Structure 1
Amino acid sequence: MKRRALKALIAAALVVALLPTLNCKKEPDKISVRLKWTYAAGFAGDLVALRKGIFEKNGLEVEVHEGGFNLSPIKLVASGADDIGLAGADQVLLARAEGLPLVAIAILFQTTPVGFVARKDSGIETPQDFIGRKVAIRPGTDAMPIYEAMLKKQGIDRSKIDEIPAQYSMVPFLEGKVEVWPTYLIYEPAQLEKMGIEYNVIDPKDYGVDTYGTCFFTTEKMIKEHPDVVERYLKSVLEGYRWALENKDEATQIILSFSDKLDSAQERYMFGKMDPFVYGETEEQIGWMDREKWEATQQVYLDVGMLEKPVDLDSLYTTQFLEKIYK
């Protein structure tokens, strides 16, 4: 009898000891993500992962913030205000050259979507045709070094081109004040098609300039102190992109739900153009990156004088998370 009472007492004690574990669900890890720009289809991975509960499934509570002119992902992540960011590979490269401890963890666009358009009736089809024509330029943007590198690769003297500084609005091009317009090939041409304007595309990669586009990045500190969080974030967002590219109509509706300023036709256009930029020309998985392409990207900025010396690529990017996700 005493033995049975002792066993009952021990069992009761075990139940009491286990109650906190049984009743307490592990709190999700909270992180803040800063997009390169405002909400759009290009950031479908994060936005879909948020709406479809993918982050939650992987034990994360994620705040996804818009970027903008005064909301630099580079500055905000470097300062610790945000944990992970999306920015041009060139921006991360140049930030690293300035001593900021930022590390690329995956590539969104395997090739930059920066390109140039000209009206079809202008007869401008190649960079050589820029000579003697009015070409819009955007100093301080990712289009400028791509433009400079393309001309250099083709042996074109910039002084023979009538370069006109421009802002982001396509109005000067639409009004015929400039004949060549720097653009994101996955986005702005939608406006031309909507207006029924026929155009030629001058794609830099066809003329020797093929660099990485947008990438995911974080800090050395985040990688060292919270590698599991970084891995789960990346796993979630890559799943979000795969789902979005396979379910573009539904994904478009999800993107539109984030802002009433978005145009449905423009977002659908972007989804229709994204596949080759996200997947690239290889059979690698979404997000993958390699040294050869990083070297080519860096060389562009060395050639145009934006980098004085090469950056240590071993510290610039890591594939440690992609390797675990795709093993």
Structure 2
Amino acid sequence: MTGPTRRLRAALALAVLAAAALTGCSTTESGSRTTADGLTEVRLQLQWFKQGQFAGYLAAVDQGFYKEQGLSVQILDGGTDIVPQTVLAQGQADYAVAWVPKALASREAGAGITQVAQIFQRSGTKQVSFRAEGVADPAALRGKTVGNWGYGNEFELFAGMTKAGLDPSRDVKLVQQQFDMNAFLAGDIDAAQAMSYNEYAQLLETRNPATGQLYTAADFTTLDWNDQGVAMLQDALWANTERLADAKYQDRTVRFLAASLKGWVFCRDNVDKCRDITVAAGSTLGASHQQWQINEVNKLIWPAPAGIGTLDRAAWDRTVQIARQTRNAEGATVLKQDPGADAYTAEYVTKALQILKDGGIDVTGTGFKPVPVTLTEGGK
């Protein structure tokens, strides 16, 4: 090593240490940072803005579950222009929440990510119509104006139509739907895409101009892709594949999962408290909407017979099959080939679940029952 090079590297090392000192953190050998009180800093990238969909992670911060595991977790908001798995692969986050087909597509394109826990066991996607449209099953979508968000959110819809004998490119009029229900309520869309925990609630928070009262479930028909056998896996936790070779990152992953899963257990048993935590975290949606959202998300997680965060292999295989076989309006599939062996690992979630079980935590929720939720106009 030459003298100038040695001096340059020494200067760079001092700069790193100085920056760490300014932020009250230090840098560990594995590249992570620690706070002044010795907690390891972790960044979790969400798919969307803070809301009930992510209540378990917010609760894990609020209730000190991450701190119990020696972690200080920063939760990063998502948005329309943020791809969580890309943020993770580029090293701008330590873990990310992402839907399985989208993350697998990113892997196929070169993103080095591995799924380490499957949080949602069931799909929350619905296709909603006014009851007067008579859409009792996917075949009844023929000739209808059908909305979808695109960006990989449409494949359950396309798989459902294909299974019913419809050609999505010819038998329906497809329209790009915004991330709201305005076009549907205005009558511009006959069947709109909605998440059970979000957009569907927005309908029930809206006043029916014909009655002056809020809409009710009786005003709509919904196609649930779980019932149609074409549901795809959604919210999962992903880690950086390359970093999983580091023993310290492996250990951190186990501790991060243990605290995150404990947060979801807490929200299963304390819906009202998690509603308040979510609202306080800065959600732009109101308290009754967040309570609905957490309650509906709980239905997607619980019961979890094998333990929260474990993967149902049949659901994984179905997701991959749909991603490989179902084509969008442009004729493209999500995946061109099956994902590699390092696309998923059960190693870390298994260890995390053992930590929780050793602590007397119920990780299966066998007796889970959703709570009654009363929505108010505007979800306030």
TM-score range, shorter chain: 0.7 to 0.9
Q: Does 1:178 align with 2:189?
A: yes
**Aligned pair count?**
300
Task: Check conservation: 1:302, 1:308, Cα contact below 8 A.
Answer: yes
Task: Check conservation: 1:222, 1:230, Cα contact below 8 A.
Answer: no
Q: Which residue among 160, 166, 172 is the counterpart of 1:156?
A: 166
CA deviations over 1:256-315 (Å, ceiling 9, x no partner): 0011622112111112212221125x5121111033221111001111222122122x21
Where relative contact order (Cα < 8 A, 6+ residues apart) is larger, the structure is 1
Bigger radius of gyration among the two: 1
State the percentage of identical aligned residues.
22
Aligned partner of residue 50 in structure 2, secondary structure: coil
Aligned partner of residue 106 in structure 1, secondary structure: strand
TM-score by length of 2: 0.76
Q: Which residue of the partner structure matches residue 257 of structure 2?
A: 234
In the TM superposition, residue 186 of structure 1 has moved relative to its aligned partner by 1.7
Cα distance between partner residues in 1 of 2:111 and 2:283: 36
Taking a change above 3 Å as real, the CA distance of residues 163 and 43 of structure 1, as seen in their structure-2 partners, is same
Equivalent residue letter for 1:215: A
Task: Check conservation: 2:197, 2:297, Cα contact below 8 A.
Answer: yes
Q: Which residue of the partner structure matches residue 237 of structure 2?
A: 216
Q: Which residue of the partner structure matches residue 308 of structure 1?
A: 336
Q: Which residue of the partner structure matches residue 51 of structure 1?
A: 62
Cα distance between partner residues in 2 of 1:99 and 1:82: 17
Q: Which residue among 299, 315, 319 is the counterpart of 1:297?
A: 319
Q: Which residue of the partner structure matches residue 276 of structure 1?
A: 299
Alignment of 1:223-262 (within 5 A): 223-225=244-246, 226-259=249-282, 261-262=284-285
Task: Check conservation: 2:52, 2:278, Cα contact below 8 A.
Answer: yes
In the TM superposition, residue 165 of structure 1 has moved relative to its aligned partner by 2.0
Aligned partner of residue 207 in structure 1, secondary structure: coil
Task: Check conservation: 2:101, 2:334, Cα contact below 8 A.
Answer: no
Cα distance between partner residues in 2 of 1:210 and 1:192: 22
In the TM superposition, residue 133 of structure 1 has moved relative to its aligned partner by 1.5
Task: Check conservation: 1:154, 1:207, Cα contact below 8 A.
Answer: no
Alignment of 1:83-98 (within 5 A): 83-98=94-109
In the TM superposition, residue 121 of structure 1 has moved relative to its aligned partner by 2.2
Equivalent residue letter for 1:183: A
Task: Check conservation: 1:279, 1:285, Cα contact below 8 A.
Answer: no
Task: Check conservation: 2:113, 2:240, Cα contact below 8 A.
Answer: yes
Q: Does 1:125 align with 2:136?
A: yes
In the TM superposition, residue 26 of structure 1 has moved relative to its aligned partner by 7.3
Cα distance between partner residues in 1 of 2:190 and 2:121: 28
Cα distance between partner residues in 2 of 1:84 and 1:272: 25
Aligned partner of residue 205 in structure 1, secondary structure: coil
Q: Which residue of the partner structure matches residue 346 of structure 2?
A: 319
Q: Which residue of the partner structure matches residue 222 of structure 2?
A: 201
Cα distance between partner residues in 2 of 1:41 and 1:139: 23
Aligned partner of residue 227 in structure 1, secondary structure: helix
Q: Which residue of the partner structure matches residue 50 of structure 2?
A: 39
Q: Which residue of the partner structure matches residue 17 of structure 1?
A: none
Cα distance between partner residues in 2 of 1:136 and 1:210: 18
Task: Check conservation: 2:143, 2:171, Cα contact below 8 A.
Answer: yes
Alignment of 1:71-86 (within 5 A): 71-86=82-97
Equivalent residue letter for 2:205: K
Cα distance between partner residues in 2 of 1:260 and 1:209: 31
Task: Check conservation: 2:51, 2:283, Cα contact below 8 A.
Answer: no
Q: Which residue among 75, 78, 82 is the counterpart of 1:64?
A: 75
CA deviations over 1:170-223 (Å, ceiling 9, x no partner): 111001111100111121111211222221110112222022111000111332
CA deviations over 1:20-40 (Å, ceiling 9, x no partner): xxxxx9711111111111000
Aligned partner of residue 326 in structure 1, secondary structure: helix
Taking a change above 3 Å as real, the CA distance of residues 242 and 124 of structure 1, as seen in their structure-2 partners, is same
Task: Check conservation: 1:238, 1:286, Cα contact below 8 A.
Answer: yes
In the TM superposition, residue 152 of structure 1 has moved relative to its aligned partner by 1.4
Equivalent residue letter for 1:286: I
Unaligned runs of 5+ in 1: 1-24
In the TM superposition, residue 231 of structure 1 has moved relative to its aligned partner by 0.5
Cα distance between partner residues in 1 of 2:173 and 2:128: 16
Q: Which residue of the partner structure matches residue 370 of structure 2?
A: none
Aligned partner of residue 227 in structure 2, secondary structure: helix
In the TM superposition, residue 99 of structure 1 has moved relative to its aligned partner by 2.3
Equivalent residue letter for 1:323: T
